[in-house]
Amino acid sequence: METLDPSHLEVINESHQHNVPVDSESHFKVIAVSDQFEGLNRIQRHRKVNQLLAEPLQQGVHALSLHLWTSTEWMSRNGMVADSPNCRGGGSHTH
């Protein structure tokens, strides 16, 4: 199986921002920095990660927000990634 060999990887459970039961693990943000993304457009990068995560994604993940950068792009962003938007399905609901 191919790997990304990321120089930086964060997987953030954002389920608490959505209208799901407490302690759910259904909404994730993935921040990955890998030089294997060099020369790939956004869709190609997403496809690469989705292929690598195909099996885990079948385990009940509802939403996956991918932020995929090369080392150069990551450095130019100063390691900053935009916050995820609020849930439109009632994320402000108190659990």
CATH of the domain at 18: 3.30.300.90
Q: What is the pLDDT of residue 59?
A: 80
The answer to whether residue 45 is domain-embedded is yes
What pLDDT digit, counting tens, does each position of 28-71 carry? Answer: 889 999 999 999 999 999 999 999 988 878 887 777 889 999 99
Residue 43 structural domain: 8-76
Distance CA 60, CA 92 (A): 22
The answer to whether residue 42 is domain-embedded is yes
> pTM for this one?
0.76
Distance CA 17, CA 13 (A): 9
The DSSP bridge partners found for residue 29 are 12, 65
Residue type present at position 52: L
Structure confidence at residue 23 as a pLDDT band (50, 70, 90): low
The answer to whether residue 89 is domain-embedded is no
Structure confidence at residue 17 as a pLDDT band (50, 70, 90): low
Number of separate domains in the chain: 1
Contacts (Cβ under 8 Å, ≥6 apart) of 33 = 6, 7, 8, 9, 68, 69, 70, 71, 73, 74
- Mean residue pLDDT across the chain: 81
